Amino acid sequence: MKKKKLAAALFGTAAVTAAAGVGESVYFYRRTMKRGKAKTERTVKMAGTDWSQYADFIAERKEKLLARPSEAVTIEAQDGLKLRANYFPEGDESKVALCFHGYTSEGMKDNLAISDYYLRRGYSLLLVDARAHGASEGDYIGFGCLDRQDALRWIRWIIERCGEGVEILLHGTSMGGATVLMASGLELPPQVKGIVSDCGFTSPKEVFTHVLHSMYHLPAFPVIPAADLINRRLAGYGMDECNAAREVRKAVVPILMIHGSADTFVPASMCDEIYENIASPKRKLIVEGAAHAESYYKDTESYERALDEFLASLHRAE
């Protein structure tokens, strides 16, 4: 009788623990992968970057950008979602910087500062809203895994708009950085000349495992495996199905990696891991003391010099 009671107690405890694990996983999934539940304020808090110190600089760049002629653009993703962007034509539109923003952000937020750099160098700008972000449709965040296919659609739009002779540069920050790195493993059109990744991560699985460990002091199990199962069913991809460190092994297009040494959200070790795996010509800039996505603001001179040297190397390679 005592053995039966013990077994029943153990079974009950296991059931409660399992139920708690499932509940915790569903809660985590909704807060990180679902549109409307993943909040910008929470992301900014987790990233830890003090953006208030750059408010005037960002406002100045925004005012300059909004004073320029622009067009609202809509394309259709391979799964039927309507994706939207803002296009800023410059000169003869022979060069275009295709920019991808970070997690829970928008094209007209993350890319405001860097837009001035590209416009000064004669690039037109296409600032996209990723699926499930901004004006684009979608319920589930793509974390680069789905967004890299969307990137191909945007590249094709640029070629149709600007002609076969256009030169395209992919530039992404955070989730956008992961997007362009993951896209490097695809068969990109020859018009894509270079890729710039600023604080990109390896995969959603690895970045959220890091967040659980470092910020919440929680183990990855059972949350990450459960979230992976849910995401495969609802969003159609696994959380480590597409990993930037693996995709860059197939890269042909030159890549510039940029990361802040003080990034606690996406650790600089991810940058090092990806960099070591890049098969194409590569460069790397580590900005000392820069937090997540802060590198351009922390050391604008070094960042722009690295971009200048990278762009120059692309023309020498032709």
DSSP letter for each residue of 184-215: TTS---TTEEEEEEES--S-HHHHHHHHHHHH
Question: What is the distance between the alpha carbons of residues 244 and 196, in angstroms, rounded to a whole number?
Answer: 13
CA atoms within 13 A on the CB side of 163: 6
Helix (H) or strand (E) holding 251: none
Q: How many CB atoms lie within 10 A of CB 205?
A: 21
Q: Which residues contact 141 (CB under 8 A, 6 or more apart)?
A: 32, 33, 34, 35, 38, 103, 130, 131, 132, 133, 175, 235
pLDDT of residue 22: 65
How many residues make up the chain in this entry?
Answer: 318
Beta bridge partners of 204: none
Where exactly are the structural domains of the chain? 34-203+242-317
* DSSP-derived pairing of the beta strands 192-198 and 95-100: unpaired
- Which residue type is seen at 194? G
List the structure tokens of 56.
Answer: 């005037």
pLDDT of residue 45: 84
Question: What is the distance between the alpha carbons of residues 195 and 118, in angstroms, rounded to a whole number?
Answer: 14
**CA distance between the termini of the chain:** 82
pLDDT of residue 189: 98
Question: What is the distance between the alpha carbons of residues 64 and 54, in angstroms, rounded to a whole number?
Answer: 16
Say what the pTM is: 0.91
Domain 34-203+242-317 has CATH 3.40.190.10: no
pLDDT of residue 215: 78
Helix (H) or strand (E) holding 258: strand 255-260
Angle at 314 between CA 279 and CA 84, to 5 degrees: 85
Question: What is the distance between the alpha carbons of residues 220 and 224, in angstroms, rounded to a whole number?
Answer: 5
Give CA separation, 227 vs 23, 222, 237, 247, 274, in Å: 11, 8, 11, 22, 24
List the structure tokens of 85.
Answer: 């962007």
List the structure tokens of 76.
Answer: 């259709």
User: SS3 of 140, please?
Assistant: strand
Question: What is the distance between the alpha carbons of residues 133 and 147, in angstroms, rounded to a whole number?
Answer: 11
Q: Which residues contact 40 (CB under 8 A, 6 or more apart)?
A: 104, 105
Question: What is the distance between the alpha carbons of residues 211 and 266, in angstroms, rounded to a whole number?
Answer: 9
The ranges of the chain with pLDDT < 70 are 1-23, 317-318
